[in-house]
Structure 1
Amino acid sequence: MSFDYDLFVIGGGSGGVRAARVAAGETGAKVALAEEDRYGGTCVIRGCVPKKLMVFASEFAPMVEDAQSFGWDIQPGSFDWGSFKVKLHAELDRLEGVYRNILKNNGVESFDQRARIVDPHTVELADGTRMTARHILIATGGRPVVPDFPGSDLAITSNDIFHLETLPDSILIVGGGYIACEFAGILNGLGVQVTQFYRGAQILRGFDDEARGLVCEEMCQNGIDVHLGTNIIEMKREGDKIRVKATNGSEMLVDQVMYATGRAPNADELGLEALGIERGRKGEILVDEYSQTGVPSIYAIGDVTDRVNLTPVAIREGMAFVDTVFRGKPTPVDHELIPTAIFTQPEMGTVGLSEEEAAEQESIEIYATSFKPMQQSFAGRSQRVLMKLIVSKATHKVLGCHIVAPGAGEMIQLAGIAVKMGATKEDFDRTVAVHPTMSEELVTMRQPVRSA
């Protein structure tokens, strides 16, 4: 049977675009892609990229004070949201253009509309056009969701932050994951009065306890009003503000409430049910280690599969899909030992097991040090950083590395290579320290602080 395309990709985010580009440009496959919104997906349009630019913008306020401590005659000014927003959206437009050109230059035909699957080899666009493909790849990503409660329609999500006409004077952020914590730091740095509610006992669940404890402590020191074990009962509009009733009995008035309590896969109304493609408890598409669904011609990658919801992982899954299907090299996706950074303030970088996870598996030694870095200390700041290694007692392998410090994301990328290679504590010890740096502590810790 002949098909219109070798591959039809639904979704123009990082994963889908990478798979389409490589399949077309490097294997010569005939490829089409459909995207109903903007090219670049969550990461480029409403996620990592604009968020990181906002992180940069928010970090200038304390720099002025620090510069004065170092002898510079610099006076604080005020942040101009309007001017920043214009530049931000111009950059996002530029990046979307880059994504469109990548597809075009590699011979991928793109359709700016929604697509759904009719049968194992047929896709239907919103305008009714039907096309056939030997393989179909779903890369539709995920979206933030707000739980249903009285007044929940008053809440905004991370998607809306980049489009606010003006910055609010005050905001309540609900959630304790990395998105909630990152935006708490960003908005606090931009001069917004930030309160954060999280229903759990500590923010950043799933990360190393000592590391997340330090992040929370420093967030509070920076002026974020964090309430743990707290949730919203109801919200009401009151003039141009929102009245919030909390589970701890308190009430407050704020300009905005942002929810970052979870995301859902974009897998509805794709035609999956009629084809018998299975979905999980959160609505995610269930796939095997090669990203294949129960229908052999249909694959899914990225956040819509809810495996590890990170942009570089979606890209890796897209590459593995191309290797498996178009290069005849079956390639399972390696989801082990993924380094990641959380752009809280201070930043956190992590790879491998937390102390708690490792202690459940085997006997371990903990090497850790917390100190005031030279730059902040000289400027009179009390900010502390943490360098931590989790080491196997039996093999001396470094099972996990956790860094809470300015620039932790840059550091963990390099530490991640060593941990992924199976480096031992002796390998770290044999490495000469780069002095004076914060990261030199990773190779100068001689004695464990505790065993578990």
Structure 2
Amino acid sequence: MAEFDVDLFVIGGGSGGVRAGRIAANHGARVMLAEEYRMGGTCVIRGCVPKKLFVIGSHMKDEIEDAKGFGWTIPPASFDWPTLIANKDKEIARLEAAYTTNVEKSGAKVVKTRAVLEDAHTVRLGTGETVSARYILIATGGAPNHGKEIPGIEHVISSNEAFHLTELPKRIVIQGGGYIALEFAGIFAGYGSDVTVIYRGDNILRGFDEDVRKHVRTEMEKRGITILTGCTVTEVTRHGKDYTTHLSNGSSIASDQVMFAIGRHPAVANLGLEKAGVAINPKNGGIQVDAWSKSSVDNIYAIGDVTHRHNLTPVAIREGHAFADTVFGKRPVQVDHATIPTAVFSQPEVGTVGLTEAEARAQVSHVDIYKTDFRPIKATMSGRDTRVLMKLVVDGSTDRVLGCHIVGDAAAEITQAVAIAVKMKATKADFDATIALHPTAAEELVTMRTPTARYVREAAAE
């Protein structure tokens, strides 16, 4: 008789958990994976994938408008929100089935139920059955966080509900200034909603390069999106089907929907962590793990958003794969969390990798900035009032490119390729030696020759 029912029990069927379970099974482990909601997790079911589908659809309005400048006469177009929702649901269902099939093909068993820890080696399923496991991997992800309770918070939706609205709101108020808030602001505006963004800070996209923050805000406001900074929502009142959002600056806004996108918290509640002795990181509220994704309990690991390290799907996938290779593949792998590229599918789109200007100036003594702001070729014919930003942050002493920041069409696609060069520690000379691909926007990255700014920090006195 085997000492344990399974070699690995995975709690959570999102991208990270699925990858870990599948690779562990490929290494010969007996794997069981539990998912209480839908296979695919946040990214596939109510995050990255449906969000990107919505973004693509919202761009169609611009394409139709821009076509006139290129000689196309298009009859007045109409948009049907229920059709979008139905087609999105169909695609998500297809992906969910694919996730389940891929796990089962690897030999792992999927159980559609909640699972909680009874002790360090035992998991209790929602059916009441218990399963013993040599190793346990927690990959339960995160969930929207509405922040402190305010009057009328029950009227507020999150990104989860936004994917399932029965009709397109004519007016929507969105509180938040990060990825999700700005992406949905662009989505709703693109489909024709009147959008107001509320953010407590002095400008949106906290943590991004300052030039990126300014550029995105300017471009969003050109698109008719109202951005109110330095205030918060204090109350939401309902009047029939309408809502009034009251702000800390004393003003109020009427709308059909109110959405909060002010952050996410790790899904650690009611998992039985205390029974197994799994520690929570006091700094971020996620499961505390080391560089190998191991928790405070030797045989229990955690990956992805539940650790609240870097809440990005590709990071969770990489962590899950590394865990499986380390524990079951006899090939120790640590994930390098440095220089992770990221994108904001706002409108305009943002792609960034490496250090911001402020971060570089704090870390190295000599920083050179190469920056350009230009009208894209398409806009010269469409007449659209928009500009692209491209910026390179360079270590002036070593010539190494420390960061790249792009705002404009295909910013994410360009950044994915540039991230390889930045990860390989390419120098500005390497960029300069690369022949431009013309005519493209990306060619600006290899044609900027003169620094737009240079910062040299004086050595500290003895």
Question: Normalising to structure 2: TM-score of the pair?
Answer: 0.96
Q: Structure 1 residue 399 and structure 2 residue 402: aligned?
A: yes
What amino acid maps onto 1:274 in structure 2?
Answer: K
* Structure 1 partner of 2:203: 202
Residues 255-404 of structure 1 aligned to structure 2 (within 5 Å): 255-281=256-282, 282-362=284-364, 363-404=366-407
* Structure 1 partner of 2:14: 13
Aligned 8 A contact 2:117 2:275 in 1: no
CA offset digits 1:239-289 (Å, max 9, x no partner): 211111111111121110000001011111111112221112442100000
Q: CA deviation at 1:328?
A: 2.0
Q: State the alpha-carbon separation in 1 of the partners of residues 332 and 89 from structure 2.
A: 40
* Structure 2 partner of 1:85: 85
Q: State the alpha-carbon separation in 2 of the partners of residues 197 and 295 from structure 1.
A: 42
Cα RMSD of the aligned pairs, angstroms, is 0.9
- Give the secondary-structure state (helix, strand or coil) at the position aligned to 2:370: strand
Q: CA deviation at 1:165?
A: 0.7
Q: State the alpha-carbon separation in 1 of the partners of residues 29 and 245 from structure 2.
A: 54
Aligned 8 A contact 1:64 1:76 in 2: no
Aligned 8 A contact 1:61 1:76 in 2: no
* Structure 2 partner of 1:442: 445
Q: State the alpha-carbon separation in 1 of the partners of residues 312 and 135 from structure 2.
A: 24
* Structure 1 partner of 2:61: 61
Moved over 6 A (4+): none
* Structure 2 partner of 1:154: 155
Percent of aligned pairs with the same amino acid: 54
Q: State the alpha-carbon separation in 1 of the partners of residues 297 and 171 from structure 2.
A: 49
- Give the secondary-structure state (helix, strand or coil) at the position aligned to 1:382: coil
Aligned 8 A contact 1:358 1:390 in 2: yes
Q: CA deviation at 1:2?
A: 1.2
Q: State the alpha-carbon separation in 1 of the partners of residues 415 and 83 from structure 2.
A: 33
* Structure 2 partner of 1:141: 141
Q: CA deviation at 1:177?
A: 0.6
Gaps of 5+ in 2: 456-462
Q: CA deviation at 1:229?
A: 0.7
What amino acid maps onto 1:137 in structure 2?
Answer: L
What amino acid maps onto 2:409 in structure 1?
Answer: P
Residues 47-126 of structure 1 aligned to structure 2 (within 5 Å): 47-126=47-126
Residues 132-281 of structure 1 aligned to structure 2 (within 5 Å): 132-147=132-147, 148-281=149-282
Aligned 8 A contact 2:120 2:277 in 1: no
> Of 425, 428, 433, which aligns to 1:425?
428
* Structure 1 partner of 2:411: 408
Q: State the alpha-carbon separation in 1 of the partners of residues 298 and 232 from structure 2.
A: 44
Q: State the alpha-carbon separation in 2 of the partners of residues 78 and 174 from structure 1.
A: 29
Q: CA deviation at 1:318?
A: 0.3
* Structure 1 partner of 2:459: none
Aligned 8 A contact 2:170 2:256 in 1: yes
* Structure 1 partner of 2:37: 37
- Give the secondary-structure state (helix, strand or coil) at the position aligned to 1:244: strand
What amino acid maps onto 1:350 in structure 2?
Answer: T
Q: State the alpha-carbon separation in 2 of the partners of residues 116 and 251 from structure 1.
A: 44
Q: How many residues align?
A: 451
Aligned 8 A contact 1:387 1:441 in 2: yes
